[in-house]
Chains A and B, each alone.
Chain A
Amino acid sequence: MAGERLGIPSAGVMTETFVSAAELMARVLGADGYPFAVIEHPISSADGPALAARAERAAAECARLLTTGADR
């Protein structure tokens, strides 16, 4: 959201456990409904292949967020 305010198209990535925190932060920062990519939790114990799979999904979702639809 800080990037967006600077005019830089941005996309956030959250793990599913932090979705409610991200939604709250978006709300208190005046950007209710700000979209972000969601990946499985946790990250730190994921092995290489699992992490790579999450990264691929997150990259695809971020590309979608940056190029379509989202108006904030």
Chain B
Amino acid sequence: MQLASRRYDVSDVVAAQEFYHSRGWTDGLPVVPPTAEAVEACLDWAMLAPDHLVGIEPVRARALTAEKLAINAVMAGCLPMHFPVVVAAFTAMLREPFLLHGATASTGGCAVLLVVNGPITAEIGMDPTFNALASSDRASTAIGRALRLCLINLLDVRPGDIDRSSLGHPGKISYCLAEDEAGSEWLPLAGERGMPAGASCVTVMAAGAPRQLMNEWTTVPQEILDTYAAEMRANMRHYSIWPGNYVIVVPPQLRAHFNAAGWSKADVRAYLFEKARIKRAEWAECGKGALVRDRGSREYAALTAPEDLLVVAAGGPAGGFGAVIPPWLGDKSRAVTVAIGACVDCEVP
């Protein structure tokens, strides 16, 4: 296998860390040195040639090859078996509706959220239960970090360069989870978004930080969802009024109540589509009265359609917790779902 990237000699692993940090090639954490052997192992696993074109970043017409993604995946701590998820996620991010440049350059400070579905989640050891939204397991953390390192090193999305985030949020280090399909009676997210049953898929979304909620004092689906709706409305009041993709994460204790009542994900989406709405006049209560003008009675929905809501089953077994993950900026960037797999139309290297 012929790799095209320049090679550097360093004396040891400590020197390698300083080499990467001094050039701004990492996110502040140590990296795994991307040796040729480790990079080739990733490419072999995904059956991709080094020069396989994953996509072209449209604003700068910059070609992104599998080799460059593999280098950053190794640096992030990925094993070869994780690499197909990284390739699929970046493929999804390069789709036009994702608006990659806008989402990664914006002052709004979103991060790329990945939700992984299908048999690959168990195969690579993703744990969708305890601590589902951060640092749950090796695969989830490394895959999420790989995307950030790709953005930094391939597209200059460094703080203060292309990345103009005022605050950002901790999901920028890694923001990746698997859906708990084995523990859920619901249709998986990828299935809801039109992907075939049994396919491994990844969904990417330009996402704000998770907003955690709690309601363990009811078993009534409508009351549980009223708490989710209140959190979505809070985001509309305090952050952005514009509708877009929202994610809600529903852990097992709350899912049990929906299952007992026979509520599907479609039922959840339909309910929240109606409930997550505010009047523009509410902005006056939040210090944003200057924007109300004569449109105070106008109603705004968090979702342009029920399908805008991405319902994800994940979380540890105990506690009436949940989370709302809001969009970066309305529908400027759309969630994108693609299948994970080896390239089917390129030569095996």
Contacts and interface: CB of A to CB of B under 8 A. Distances in A.
B60 A24 contact: no
Nearest to A28: B60
Interface in A1-49: 18, 20-21, 24-25, 28-29
A47 to B, nearest CB: 9
Interface of B: 59-60, 105, 156, 160-162, 164
A52 to B, nearest CB: 17
Nearest to A30: B60
Nearest to A24: B161
Given A21-B105, A24-B156, A29 B60 contact: yes
A18 B164 contact: yes
A20 B160 CA distance: 8
Contacts of B156: 24, 28
Contacts of B60: 28-29
Contact of B164 (A21, A28, A29): A21
A21 B59 CA distance: 14
Interface of A: 18, 20-21, 24-25, 28-29
Which 9 residue pairs spanning A and B have beta carbons closest together? A28-B60, A21-B164, A24-B161, A29-B60, A28-B156, A24-B162, A24-B156, A18-B164, A21-B162
Given A21-B161, A24-B162, 5 more contacts: A18-B164, A20-B160, A21-B105, A24-B161, A28-B156
A25 B163 CA distance: 11
B290 to A, nearest CB: 8
A29 B162 CA distance: 12
Contacts of B162: 21, 24-25
10 contacts: A20-B160, A21-B105, A21-B161, A21-B162, A21-B164, A24-B161, A24-B162, A25-B162, A28-B60, A29-B59
Contacts of A28: 60, 156
Contacts of A29: 59-60
A24 B157 CA distance: 11
A5 B111 CA distance: 31
Nearest to B291: A44
A28 B158 CA distance: 14
Contacts of B160: 20
A24 B160 CA distance: 10
A67 to B, nearest CB: 28
A18 to B, nearest CB: 7
A25 B155 CA distance: 11
Nearest to B163: A21
